[in-house]
Amino acid sequence: MKLYNTQSQSLQEFEPQAHTVKLYVCGITPYDTTHLGHAATYCAFDVLVRYLEYRGATVDYCENVTDIDDDTIREAPKRGTNWRELGNTWTAHFIRDMIALNVRPPDHYPRATDVIPEIIEFDKKLIEKGFAYESGGSVYFHVSAYDKFGQLSHIPKSEMLAIANERGNFPDDPKKRDPLDFVLWQAQAPGEPAWDSPWGPGRPGWHIECSAMNYKTFGPTIDIHGGGADLVFPHHECEIAQTVNFTGENYFARLWMHTAMVGYDGEKMSKSLGNLVMVSDLLKQHTPDSLRLYLAKHHYRKPWEFTSADLDTSLSECTQLTQAVQTSSGDRHAMDFEYARAAFERTLDDDLNSPAAANVLCELSNAILEHADVGRDVREAQTWLRRAASIFGLRLDAYGPEARVRFGWEQHINRFPG
């Protein structure tokens, strides 16, 4: 199996450290979820997890919740609530959408506020090693102390600051030694939530949260780290800098996977532009299967735009897939479907080429119906089609999400009343 590694900028053989694959995917900042861009990311990694399981691997999957962040603190008072209630409400909403879409739940679902002690230990050790410094009750990572900064994004140093500023950096912070330095611990501002630390009351910076959650869950190294392409810089770049200098390891993740942005009306789908297409709205008019197939027909690394017409096409294709697994079988000459199995596996082995694999299933469904019409035995082909369709999260004629999906997510949602 070959996957594209953002860090090496190339396809490479995926060779996990052990039989159990350690996968970490950056989760939501819980407000205004779940739009189609969110769904595209988490459904893409769901396909990855399910295909690895199909191939015989065990996947230990962690997805986080960034429950304390500039965005949640800023949004909460606008909505007449506090940051914790806001986070709980929207995390619960997100989980309900994931259940509806039959997305396999992560094995670990930590919140950033679960790892405050680990974050403080990270910060202390980075200061001791000379990669971070305290200033005015805050702690910053000193970017110039780490000469490999930029190894993931490959962005020239001269362009980093402008991009970081667009994505949450505060270059004019007078406590910084350099405008590109990023915060590990943020001194408490009036009215903000805070935790005690050796540097005074404050809260964690965004980037260090994922490093700490990852480390607490898996230890110093993992197999795959994933997230949206907008996280490559600065978030994931900063994660590498923090983690390898804390652990002393040569690498953090063996492979970095990033999903492309989803557009609508010629723009990136985003809250700031007001062009969000919400999953809950789409599910009022379309089946979960049709939405899952629609998402699978877009390669995870290629940007695309939402159109209602394409979603309608996926609905009709799901109808045919369901007809194919339900049709009555004859008993003459068992249908050969090995060509479809080989093509399906070959396409997913090639950087998770789900559009090509989805086409294989649609073509097989048509072939099953044709063979059944002339009395051939299609039962084994139907059984395999069900199994292959389940890699895309499709339920076909089954009712509702899988039991493991509902049960697993319900264990997580109990921690997020809302």
User: pLDDT at position 281, please?
Assistant: 95
pLDDT of 417 above 70: no
Is position 232 within any domain?
yes
Picking from 249, 274, 299, the residue at the C-terminal end of a domain is 274
Strand partners, 350: 2
Q: Where are the alpha helices (DSSP H) in 55-115?
A: 70-78, 83-100
Is position 106 within any domain?
yes
The verdict on 121 and 257 lying in the same domain is yes
pLDDT of 196 above 90: yes
User: pLDDT at position 68, please?
Assistant: 95
Is position 360 within any domain?
yes
Q: Which domain holds residue 219?
A: 2-274
CA angle 170, 26, 133 (to 5 degrees): 40
Q: Mean pLDDT across the stretch 365-382?
A: 96
- C-alpha–C-alpha distance, residues 273 and 149, integer Å: 31
Q: Mean pLDDT across the stretch 363-369?
A: 97
Q: Is 11 helix (H, G, I), strand (E, B) or coil?
A: strand
The verdict on 192 and 159 lying in the same domain is yes
Q: Is 135 helix (H, G, I), strand (E, B) or coil?
A: strand
Which of 170, 72, 59 lies closest to 112 in space, CA to CA? 72
Q: How confident is the model at residue 275 (pLDDT cuts 50, 70, 90)?
A: confident
User: pLDDT at position 245, please?
Assistant: 98
In 14-151 the beta strands, taken as DSSP E runs, fall at 20-25, 58-63, 132-135, 138-141
To which H or E segment does residue 382 belong? helix 379-391
pLDDT of 198 above 90: yes
Structure tokens at 288: 């979960």
User: pLDDT at position 267, please?
Assistant: 79
pLDDT of 273 above 80: no
Enumerate residues 6+ apart whose C-beta is below 8 A from 322.
289, 396, 397
The verdict on 176 and 313 lying in the same domain is no
The structure's pTM equals 0.96
The verdict on 248 and 301 lying in the same domain is no
> What CATH number did the domain enclosing 309 receive?
1.20.120.640
To which H or E segment does residue 224 belong? strand 222-228
In 284-372 the beta strands, taken as DSSP E runs, fall at 304-305
The verdict on 306 and 234 lying in the same domain is no
DSSP-assigned letter for residue 138 = E
User: pLDDT at position 207, please?
Assistant: 97
> What CATH number did the domain enclosing 144 receive?
3.40.50.620
Contact (Cβ atoms closer than 8 angstroms) between residue 52 and residue 22:
no
Provide the residue count of the chain: 418
pLDDT of 254 above 90: yes
Enumerate residues 6+ apart whose C-beta is below 8 A from 342.
none
Q: Write out pLDDT tens, residues 304-316.
A: 999 999 999 999 9
pLDDT of 389 above 70: yes
Q: Write out pLDDT tens, residues 406-416.
A: 999 999 988 77
Is position 207 within any domain?
yes
The verdict on 172 and 312 lying in the same domain is no
The verdict on 236 and 336 lying in the same domain is no
Find tokens 């350690």 and name the residue: 22
Task: Compute the mean pLDDT over every residue in the chain, rounded to the nearest whole number.
Answer: 95
pLDDT of 269 above 90: no
pLDDT of 142 above 90: yes
The verdict on 37 and 98 lying in the same domain is yes
- C-alpha–C-alpha distance, residues 308 and 290, integer Å: 12
- C-alpha–C-alpha distance, residues 413 and 409, integer Å: 6
Q: What number of helices (H) and strands (E) belong to the chain? A: 14, 13
Which of 36, 141, 28, 45 lies closest to 90 in space, CA to CA? 28
Is position 129 within any domain?
yes
The verdict on 247 and 320 lying in the same domain is no
Is position 368 within any domain?
yes
Q: How confident is the model at residue 32 (pLDDT cuts 50, 70, 90)?
A: confident
Backbone angles phi, psi at 36, to 5 degrees: -65, -30
Q: How confident is the model at residue 12 (pLDDT cuts 50, 70, 90)?
A: very high
Is position 417 within any domain?
no
User: pLDDT at position 415, please?
Assistant: 78
The verdict on 163 and 221 lying in the same domain is yes
- C-alpha–C-alpha distance, residues 365 and 392, integer Å: 15
Which of 323, 324, 297 lies closest to 310 in space, CA to CA? 297
User: pLDDT at position 375, please?
Assistant: 94
Structure tokens at 402: 């899988």
Percent of the chain, pLDDT > 90?
92
User: pLDDT at position 33, please?
Assistant: 87
pLDDT of 418 above 80: no
DSSP string covering 237-306: HHHHHHHHHHH--S-SEEEEEEEPPEEETTEE--TTTT---BHHHHTTTS-HHHHHHHHHTS-TTS-EE-
Is position 414 within any domain?
no
Structure tokens at 354: 């789900």
Picking from 248, 274, 300, the residue at the C-terminal end of a domain is 274
Enumerate residues 6+ apart whose C-beta is below 8 A from 318.
287, 289, 290, 293, 394, 396
Picking from 274, 297, 319, the residue at the C-terminal end of a domain is 274
Is 327 buried (19+), middle (13-18) or exposed (0-12) by CB count in 10 A? middle
Q: Write out pLDDT tens, residues 93-115.
A: 999 999 999 999 999 999 999 99
Split into its structural domains, the chain has a count of: 2
Q: How confident is the model at residue 332 (pLDDT cuts 50, 70, 90)?
A: confident
- C-alpha–C-alpha distance, residues 72 and 352, integer Å: 34
The verdict on 299 and 182 lying in the same domain is no
The verdict on 378 and 299 lying in the same domain is yes
